[in-house]
C-alpha cells in the first residue's frame, strides 16, 4: 500500500508519463506539469499502454485509478504533494530552474526525486534554497510503469532520512530501490549501459555487424541470462564447480587483450547517425514505435510472470517482486476504496517524515 497521498510529476515525456502511469495505477492522485501543448495527448498514449500491460498483470481487475490533473504551473502541481518526481530534459541549467521552483512551492516535508540519468544530486540541489536536504536521485528505467528498478542516490546535502523515506515510497509502488553507496555521475546502471553502447557504436561503425545482428547476439544469448541472474552470478556459474575464483583466473587475463575499444568514443557524426538510423529502420520491418512498445510491454510482463513461478513457486529475481506487486495490486483492487481514503489511512500509520538536521551526511564529494 502506498504511503503517498498526492504526487506531482514535473515533465511528462517518456519518463515523466511512465512515473505518472505507475502512480495512477496504484490509485494515487497525480498532478502533472509539462509546458508541451501536446503533453495531454502524449501522456494519455502512455497511460493507455500502461493500463493494457497492468490488465495482463492483474487479470481480476485493477485498483481504482488515481485522479490525474494538469497543472498550469509547477507551483500549482506541487502545492499539496508529498512526493514529487522531476523528469525534465537532461540539462543542468533546466534542472536547476525547475528544482528551484519545486523547492519554493512544495510542502517542506515533501520528498523530491529526480529522474536524471547521470547528473550528481550534489550538483542539482545547490539550486534548492529552502530544503535541498529532501532531494534524491530516483533513477528509473523505461518503461517506468513496468521495470521495477530505481537507483536512489543522495547528494552532499541529502538527509539520510530522506533516502529512507524515498526507499519506502518507491517500494510502496512496486519498485526495487537500490541505494547507490557513493555519488558518481551516471550511477551504476548507466555506467554499464554507456560502456556497452560505446562498444556497440564501434562494432556498427567498423562494419563488424549490423544493428539487427548485434541485437540478436544480445537477445538470443547473454541478454536472456542477464535478465534472470545479472552479470556476476552468471559468471559464477560459468566458472563451473570452482565458481567465481576459477572464472576470474581463466578470463581475467583476457581483459588485457585487444578486445575492447571501451575508452574511445567513435565520432558521433552524420555518417554514423545515418548508418545506425537506416539499419534500425530496416530492423523495425515497418512496426511503429507504439507497436514496438506493445510488443516490449507484453514480453516484459511475460518474462516477469515466468520468473514469478520459478524457485519452487516463490519467484526469482524480478519475478519474486512481480509476484508480490501483482498480489498488492489485486488486494488494492478488491478493497476498492477511494484513492485518497486509502492513502490517508496508509499515511496515518506511516507518515512521510519531516526533514530534520542530519547527524551525518549521505554522500562525499568525489575528487
Ligand X SMILES: NC(=O)c1ccc[n+]([C@@H]2O[C@H](COP(=O)([O-])OP(=O)(O)OC[C@H]3O[C@@H](n4cnc5c(N)ncnc54)[C@H](O)[C@@H]3O)[C@@H](O)[C@H]2O)c1
Q: Is residue 98 annotated as involved in ligand binding? A: no
Cβ contact 122:95 at 8 Å = no
3-state helix, strand, coil in the chain (%, to 5): 55, 10, 35
Q: Cell digits for 259? A: 578486445
Q: Does 58 bind ligand X (CB under 6 A)?
A: no
| CA angle at 42 for the pair 94 and 25, rounded to the nearest 5° | 95
Residue 85 pairs in a beta bridge with: 9, 113
Question: Per CB under 6 A, which of residues 127..156 are in contact with ligand X?
Answer: 139-140, 142
Specify the DSSP element, H or E, that contains 69. strand 68-70
By beta-carbon proximity to ligand X, the closer residue of 144 and 352 is 144
H-type helices in 285-338, by residue range?
289-308, 318-335
Among 26, 117, 125, 210, interactor with ligand X by CB under 6 A: 117
Q: CA 54 from chain center: how many Å?
A: 17
Residue 10 pairs in a beta bridge with: 33, 86
Tell me whether residue 202 is exposed, middle or buried, using C-beta atoms within 10 angstroms of its C-beta: 0 to 12, 13 to 18, 19 or more.
middle
Angstrom CA distances, 249 to 126, 230, 262, 344, stand at: 46, 20, 22, 56
By beta-carbon proximity to ligand X, the closer residue of 42 and 236 is 42
The least CB distance from residue 135 to ligand X, in Å, is 14
Cβ contact 101:75 at 8 Å = yes
Q: Does 103 bind ligand X (CB under 6 A)?
A: no
Q: Does 121 bind ligand X (CB under 6 A)?
A: no
The least CB distance from residue 189 to ligand X, in Å, is 8
Among 8, 10, 71, 163, interactor with ligand X by CB under 6 A: 10
The least CB distance from residue 290 to ligand X, in Å, is 15
Among 1, 13, 160, 316, interactor with ligand X by CB under 6 A: 13
Angstrom CA distances, 193 to 187, 188, 321, stand at: 11, 9, 23
Q: Is residue 211 annotated as involved in ligand binding? A: no
In three-state secondary structure terms, 338 is: coil
The least CB distance from residue 141 to ligand X, in Å, is 6
Q: Does 87 bind ligand X (CB under 6 A)?
A: yes
Q: Does 88 bind ligand X (CB under 6 A)?
A: yes
Count of beta carbons in the 10 Å neighbourhood of residue 289: 7
Q: Is residue 317 annotated as involved in ligand binding? A: no
Q: Does 98 bind ligand X (CB under 6 A)?
A: yes
Q: Does 37 bind ligand X (CB under 6 A)?
A: no
Q: Which residue is nearest to ligand X (CB)?
A: 13
Stretch that binds ligand X, among 52-60, 84-92, 312-320, 339-347 (CB under 6 A): 84-92
Q: Is residue 118 annotated as involved in ligand binding? A: no
- Chain positions contacting ligand X, by CB under 6 A: 10-16, 33-36, 39, 87-90, 98, 115-117, 139-140, 142
Mark the binding-site residues, compressed into ranges. Answer: 11-16
Mark the binding-site residues for NAD(+), compressed into ranges. Answer: 11-16
Amino acid at each position: 500500500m502506498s504511503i503517498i497521498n498526492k504526487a506531482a510529476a514535473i515533465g511528462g515525456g517518456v519518463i515523466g508519463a511512465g512515473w505518472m502511469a505507475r502512480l495512477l495505477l496504484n490509485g494515487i492522485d497525480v498532478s502533472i506539469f509539462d509546458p508541451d501543448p501536446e503533453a495531454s495527448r502524449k501522456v494519455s498514449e502512455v497511460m493507455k499502454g500502461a493500463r493494457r500491460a497492468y490488465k495482463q498483470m492483474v487479470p481480476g481487475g485493477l485498483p481504482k485509478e488515481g485522479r490525474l490533473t494538469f497543472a498550469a504551473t509547477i507551483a500549482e502541481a506541487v502545492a499539496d504533494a508529498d512526493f514529487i518526481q522531476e523528469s525534465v530534459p537532461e540539462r543542468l541549467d533546466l534542472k536547476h530552474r525547475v528544482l528551484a521552483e519545486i523547492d519554493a512551492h512544495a510542502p517542506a516535508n515533501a520528498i523530491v526525486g529526480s529522474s536524471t540519468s547521470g547528473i550528481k544530486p550534489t550538483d542539482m540541489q545547490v539550486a534548492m534554497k529552502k530544503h535541498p536536504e529532501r532531494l534524491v536521485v530516483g533513477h528509473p528505467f523505461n518503461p517506468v510503469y513496468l521495470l521495477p528498478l530505481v537507483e536512489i542516490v543522495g547528494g552532499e546535502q541529502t538527509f539520510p532520512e530522506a533516502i529512507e523515506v524515498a526507499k519506502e515510497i518507491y517500494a510502496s509502488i512496486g519498485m526495487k530501490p537500490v541505494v547507490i553507496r557513493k555519488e558518481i555521475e551516471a550511477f551504476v546502471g548507466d555506467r554499464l549501459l554507456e560502456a556497452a553502447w560505446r562498444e556497440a557504436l564501434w562494432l556498427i561503425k567498423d562494419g563488424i555487424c549490423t544493428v539487427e545482428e548485434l541485437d540478436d547476439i544480445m537477445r538470443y544469448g547473454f541478454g536472456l541470462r542477464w535478465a534472470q541472474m545479472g552479470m556476476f552470478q552468471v559468471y559464477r556459474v560459468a566458472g563451473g564447480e570452482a565458481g567465481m575464483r576459477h572464472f576470474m583466473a581463466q578470463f581475467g587475463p583476457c581483459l588485457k587483450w585487444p578486445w575492447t575499444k571501451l575508452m574511445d568514443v567513435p565520432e558521433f557524426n552524420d555518417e554514423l547517425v545515418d548508418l545506425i538510423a537506416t539499419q534500425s529502420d530496416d530492423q523495425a520491418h515497418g512496426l511503429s514505435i507504439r507497436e514496438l512498445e506493445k510488443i516490449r510491454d507484453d514480453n516484459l510482463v511475460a518474462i516477469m510472470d515466468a520468473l514469478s513461478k520459478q524457485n519452487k513457486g516463490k519467484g526469482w529475481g524480478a519475478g519474486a517482486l512481480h509476484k508480490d506487486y501483482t498480489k498488492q495490486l489485486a488486494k488494492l483492487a478488491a478493497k476498492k476504496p477511494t484513492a485518497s481514503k486509502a492513502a490517508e489511512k496508509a499515511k496515518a500509520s506511516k507518515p512521510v517524515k519531516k526533514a530534520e538536521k542530519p547527524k551525518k551526511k549521505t554522500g562525499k564529494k568525489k575528487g
